[in-house]
Amino acid sequence: MQRKGLTRRDFLHLSTLTIAGLVAASCTPAVPPAQAPAETSGDTAAPASGDKQRVTIFVGFGTGTAPEQVKAENELADEYNASQDKIAVEYLVVPYEDAITKFTAMVAAGTAPELCMPIGVDGVSWFLDEWVDIEPYISRDNYDLSDFYTSTLDLHKNSVRNATFGLPGTLYPSMIYYNEELFDAAGLDYPPHSFGESDWTYARLEELALQMSMDAAGMNATEPTFDRDNQVQWGYDESCQEGNNPRSLAMQWGSKHSGFSEDYRTARLNDPEWIDRWQWVSDAIWKKAIMASEQENRTIQINPFLTGKVAMYFCHTWTLGEAFQDTEFAWNIAAVPAGPTGAIMSPMSADTFTIPSSAQNPDAGWEVAKWMFSETNLPKLCGIWNCLSARQSGQEAFKQMMQDKYPRMDLQVIFDAVQYLDKPLAEGWVPSPKQVLDLVANSVGIIRTGDNQDAKAVLDALNVEVQKVTDEYWAQRS
């Protein structure tokens, strides 16, 4: 090897040069990405030319990151860029598991995106102090809100900051998916499709579920020889809500809140409605065997539509995506039954856009958001994200899209469910949202693993923990 040329002296010089170079580099003034010419060479490039304002749309707080969705989103951006010459839009797509990390890094570095879209009610709540209040924009532009479902107008309002962070955008109401084949096999009538039918209650759901909870020998849960240890099929599953929306459950039993007093200073997770609803969960698993336990749930939860081991599945419309299409079973949708007090509630998940207050061009962000949420374009977004538009004028487009995919499905159930959304939204803001969510999820876990089957004991303990987090939150905020 001929390396005589490089002596120690040369090496030291080289090192010094490197240091000098890097120090120089780090001392050059920061180049805000907004002004940096985009070095894009790809197909989707819409480089911001000198006088155009750049709007970066951050995707990753929910749906919208799958490859075919990204393609469609870029096409929409191209359409916008071609439609005017003041603003250049581009998408920044981040896998949802790590979207928070990336977003916080961008915010901390002062390079926040102009729009986060889509972002769910829960996502909005994580960064309560980060978002721009859009009320001033709405009144400045006299923005017409009449096309939106009235029940959705307050979805993205927050009482603590007294502000609105996004327009109603896309909706994911929930309903009861049912596997027709399991009903047929048990010789039962399908559950009703319209909300509020007098005999469609949780008590009735329980009766149906018992007959479709089966062991390996084909015995159902009403029969004396039913072998619980070898259960292979379950009548009902609400793991989707327990995992995603656990604070909504008690509202079905008549609770008027999602775990807190109106001023969010007192935790109320052990109110009677809460204890009764959670005891119902515990009994449904451990006494009646109509729902799978945590241990058993892994076997079915990944996708009940594909396994066909669940007769009724309480979940949101987002499952109407790809996975649902591949099912070999005949599924349909029914109304959510009434709880023991007669309350009917279909937990809502809803997406919108938000404008980070540290973004470079928040005004341009609003302009782009308006265009995206317009009568023409919101249905297009819904087409990409598989959801119902919060604009009533979008119903037809939704019907068409879904009818092509699921010709046998009764879509009216979805439109009706919007009227029964949870108020206040159970996904909505509470003090220290993720800490509370983690604590609640842990308590759900205790019931579902059977570690403690007494809902009162579990919720009493939970309420103490949540109150502690809440007190800390308010102490810091003041």
Interface of this chain with another protein, residues 130 to 149, rule: CB under 8 A: 130
Interface with another protein (CB under 8 A), residue total: 94
Tell me if 300 contacts another protein by CB under 8 A.
Answer: yes
Among 22, 145, 217, 457, interactor with another protein by CB under 8 A: 22
Interface of this chain with another protein, residues 430 to 459, rule: CB under 8 A: 432, 434-435, 438, 442, 445-446, 449, 451
CA angle 334/340/346 to nearest 5° reads 40
How many Å apart are CA 331 and CA 306, to the nearest integer? 10
Q: Which is nearer to another protein, 56 or 211 (CB)?
A: 56
Q: Judging by DSSP bridges, how do beta strands 174-179 and 331-334 pair with one another?
A: antiparallel
How many Å apart are CA 444 and CA 277, to the nearest integer? 12
Q: Which is nearer to another protein, 151 or 329 (CB)?
A: 329
Beta bridge partners of 296: none
State the first-to-last Cα distance of the chain, in angstroms, to the nearest integer.
69
Tell me if 392 contacts another protein by CB under 8 A.
Answer: no
Quote helix, strand, coil % in the chain, to nearest 5: 45, 15, 40
Q: What is the DSSP annotation of 414-430?
A: HHHHGGG--SS-TTS--
Q: Judging by DSSP bridges, how do beta strands 157-158 and 174-179 pair with one another?
A: unpaired
How many Å apart are CA 16 and CA 10, to the nearest integer? 10
What phi, psi does 380 have (nearest 5°)?
-65, -45
Q: Residue 401 carries which side chain, given as an amino acid letter?
A: M
Tell me if 40 contacts another protein by CB under 8 A.
Answer: yes
Interface of this chain with another protein, residues 253 to 272, rule: CB under 8 A: none
Interface of this chain with another protein, residues 104 to 133, rule: CB under 8 A: 104-111, 126-127, 129-130
Tokens of 361: 């061009």
Interface of this chain with another protein, residues 345 to 384, rule: CB under 8 A: 358
Q: How far is the CB of 393 from another protein (least distance, A)?
A: 25
Please say whether the beta carbons of 207 and 236 come within 8 A: no
Q: Which is nearer to another protein, 120 or 339 (CB)?
A: 120
Point out which span in 3-11, 77-85, 158-166, 416-424 binds another protein (CB under 8 A): 3-11
Q: Which is nearer to another protein, 153 or 185 (CB)?
A: 185
Among 266, 307, 412, 467, interactor with another protein by CB under 8 A: 307
SS3 of 273, please?
A: helix
Q: Residue 91 carries which side chain, given as an amino acid letter?
A: Y
Q: How far is the CB of 401 from another protein (least distance, A)?
A: 15
Tokens of 253: 């039993």
Q: Which is nearer to another protein, 33 or 196 (CB)?
A: 33
Q: Which is nearer to another protein, 4 or 86 (CB)?
A: 4
Q: Which is nearer to another protein, 294 or 422 (CB)?
A: 294
Q: How far is the CB of 53 from another protein (least distance, A)?
A: 17
Q: Judging by DSSP bridges, how do beta strands 163-164 and 157-158 pair with one another?
A: antiparallel
Q: Which is nearer to another protein, 38 or 343 (CB)?
A: 38
Tell me if 460 contacts another protein by CB under 8 A.
Answer: no
CB atoms inside a 10 Å sphere around CB 431: 21
Tell me if 31 contacts another protein by CB under 8 A.
Answer: yes
Among 137, 177, 318, 371, interactor with another protein by CB under 8 A: 318
Residue matched to tokens 């604009």: 391
Among 298, 375, 376, 393, interactor with another protein by CB under 8 A: 298
Contacting residues for 52 by C-beta, under 8 A, at least 6 apart: 85, 86, 87, 88
How many Å apart are CA 430 and CA 393, to the nearest integer? 32
Q: How far is the CB of 109 from another protein (least distance, A)?
A: 4
Interface of this chain with another protein, residues 55 to 84, rule: CB under 8 A: 56, 62-70
Q: How far is the CB of 36 from another protein (least distance, A)?
A: 7
Among 160, 302, 457, 464, interactor with another protein by CB under 8 A: 302
